[in-house]
């Protein structure tokens, strides 16, 4: 043996199997526990990180919803402040109420509102929105100034949203889809708010006035150019991130955003820039641009939904990985113990199984299979023992069949018939059904033996046995050789008429047999005695044989080749 392996071999030989496994387990378990602990900590940190990002995403949703309402307040307040129109309702009051309700919702969010920066912003914003009012029309005030001043409120909200993202750092996610979508929302979509708001506010205002001032024309033209720029920029951005946006979830479609920008741009161009008379319905214009703005926010909502779904999948994956890790560590530890116990008991139990099987065979039980569950040398031993059991069983079965089978005709012999008759009589008594017996004898059989030889006589008996077997239609019907040329047929649950009819059929069939020998064809007949009874409780089954034999004797006396029926006369004394 290799000198390097020899010490290990001697060490293992000096230990019991339990100590061997304990030694191996201790060498593997300690580093395994250290690695498992380190990995478990990393898994837990990553899970907590995803949960934190999920909470941050909900806060981003809430802040985006607030920005959306503040943009509506910005535009509606400017229009209401400048126009004071009773014909056109821009929904300032409703928007104001919705914004305040959303602010109350933010205040009711413990995790979000507990931050000092959020508290200061929300407190000032609530006071600002609550005190907004509508002053008399001030045509002298430039709409651009009013819009930019109202835009400051929205900018503060956007700054607050950025601080939320920085706190939860969702854009630093490992998933490139989340990074792309967050950057798209906070940067590219963010830039669309102001030009779309200006298009809605400027366009609606000048349509209510039915003319565009020179300053207004400059503002509208600047808005038109900005929209053109954003359309081109967004198309370029779309091509750059198109592959990244393809997720296993439904990918957000940015095409409707581009169509919305184009729709607003075209509306601004058709109804204000190119139109000589600003007579287009301002309500229709306002509604059309508002629908385009809604398309932008539909995209944002879809993007948030996809980010949420990705984070949820990531969370599930990490949880499943953590579970799989714990399960794998548990399984490995369990296997050490399990294999040790299994090794010991596999030998012990299989040896016991072989011993029990050997005792069963020794006691005459040849039906129980000898089998062990192992795949080692004990299995080979069990296969050898089972082959021995099968051979013994086959010999036992063959000996049993020989003891109840007639060697010449392969019919059941007299011993088997006597045992079966007793059982069937008892059954007929319990079920109160008739049982019939037919005893038949080959006519002039001695002459056949004398004239054609014993081999020819044997052949006649064989052919007649086959004919009798073929005529039996039920498994319960029994044909047996009773002795010499005598045969007997047991017919359970068979009345007198059926027994007589079957007897006649047997007689005719035997008479039609043609047994070929080397020199001639032998025809022969048979005489049959029949009896039937519904046995009583203490009926002696041997009496049935006696009456059938008497009927057979009568058939012989009356000329042979006939069937005679005799009833069983019970002794009533």
- pLDDT of res. 137: 47
Query: 174-201 b/e with 16+ CB inside 10 Å = b?
Result: ebebbbbbbebbbebbbebbbbbbbbbb
- pLDDT of res. 558: 94
- pLDDT of res. 431: 92
Q: Give the gyration radius of the chain's Cα atoms.
A: 53
One DSSP character per residue, 21-74 reads: HHHHHHHHHHHHHHHHHHHHHHHHHHHHHHHHHHHHHHHHHHHHHHHHHHHHHH
- pLDDT of res. 9: 67
Cβ-contact 164, 59 below 8 angstroms: yes
Q: Tokens 């053109």 sit at which residue?
A: 228
User: Which residue stretches of the chain have pLDDT < 70?
Assistant: 1-2, 9, 12, 15-22, 25, 84-90, 133-141, 240-252, 333, 336-337, 339-348, 351, 366, 378, 571-573
- pLDDT of res. 84: 64
- Whole-structure pTM value: 0.55
Q: Longest C-alpha distance within the chain, in Å?
A: 151
Cβ-contact 496, 436 below 8 angstroms: yes
- pLDDT of res. 209: 87
d(CA 79, CA 461): 124
DSSP element (H, E) containing 487: strand 486-492
d(CA 252, CA 466): 86
């Amino acid at each position: 043996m290799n000198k390097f392996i020899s010490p290990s071999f001697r060490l293992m030989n000096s230990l019991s199997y339990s100590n061997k496994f304990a030694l191996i387990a201790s060498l593997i378990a300690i580093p395994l526990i250290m690695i498992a602990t380190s990995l478990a900590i990393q898994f837990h940190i990553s899970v907590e990180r995803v949960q934190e990002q999920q909470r941050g995403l909900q806060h981003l949703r809430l802040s985006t919803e607030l920005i959306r309402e503040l943009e509506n307040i910005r535009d509606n307040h400017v229009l209401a402040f400048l126009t004071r129109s009773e014909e056109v309702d821009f929904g300032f009051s409703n928007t104001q109420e919705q914004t305040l309700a959303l602010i109350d919702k933010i205040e009711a969010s413990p995790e979000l509102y507990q931050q000092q920066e959020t508290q200061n912003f929300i407190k000032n914003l609530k006071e600002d929105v609550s005190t907004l009012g509508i002053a008399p029309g001030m045509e002298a005030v430039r709409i651009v100034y009013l819009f930019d001043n109202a835009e400051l409120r929205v900018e503060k909200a956007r700054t607050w949203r950025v601080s939320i993202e920085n706190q939860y750092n969702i854009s630093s996610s490992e998933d490139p889809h989340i990074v792309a979508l967050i950057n798209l929302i906070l940067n590219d979509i963010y830039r669309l708010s102001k030009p779309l708001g200006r298009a809605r506010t400027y366009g609606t205002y000048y349509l209510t006035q039915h003319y565009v001032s020179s300053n207004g024309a400059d503002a509208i033209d600047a808005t038109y150019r900005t929209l053109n720029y954003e359309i081109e920029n967004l198309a370029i951005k779309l091509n750059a991130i198109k592959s990244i946006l393809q997720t296993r979830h439904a990918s957000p479609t940015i095409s409707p955003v581009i169509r919305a920008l184009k729709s607003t741009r075209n509306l601004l161009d058709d109804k204000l820039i190119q139109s000589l008379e600003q007579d287009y319905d301002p309500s229709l214009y306002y509604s059309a641009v508002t629908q385009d703005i809604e398309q932008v926010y539909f995209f944002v909502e879809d993007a948030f939904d996809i980010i949420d779904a990705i984070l949820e999948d990531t969370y599930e994956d990490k949880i499943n990985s953590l579970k799989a890790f714990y399960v794998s560590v548990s399984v490995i530890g369990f296997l050490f113990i399990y294999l040790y116990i299994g090794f010991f008991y596999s030998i012990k139990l299989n040896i016991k199984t072989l011993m029990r099987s050997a005792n069963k065979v020794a006691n005459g039980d040849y039906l129980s299979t000898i089998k062990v569950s192992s795949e080692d040398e004990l299995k080979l031993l069990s296969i050898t023992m089972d082959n021995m059991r099968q051979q013994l069983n086959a010999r036992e079965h063959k000996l049993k069949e020989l003891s109840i089978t007639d060697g010449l005709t392969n019919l059941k012999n007299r011993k088997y018939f006597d045992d079966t008759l007793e059982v069937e009589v008892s059954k007929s008594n319990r079920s109160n059904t008739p049982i019939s017996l037919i005893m038949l004898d080959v006519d002039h059989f001695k002459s056949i033996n004398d004239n054609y030889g014993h081999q020819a006589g044997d052949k006649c008996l064989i052919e007649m046995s086959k004919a009798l077997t073929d005529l039996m239609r039920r498994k319960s019907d029994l044909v047996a050789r009773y002795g010499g040329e005598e045969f007997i047929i047991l017919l359970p649950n068979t009345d007198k008429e059926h027994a007589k009819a079957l007897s006649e059929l047997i007689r005719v069939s035997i008479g039609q047999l043609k047994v070929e020998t080397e020199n001639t064809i032998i025809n022969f007949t048979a005489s049959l005695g029949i009896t039937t009874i519904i046995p009583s409780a203490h009926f002696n089954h041997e009496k049935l044989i006696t009456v059938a034999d008497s009927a057979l004797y009568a058939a012989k006396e009356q000329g042979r080749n006939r069937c005679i029926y005799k009833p069983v006369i019970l002794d009533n004394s």
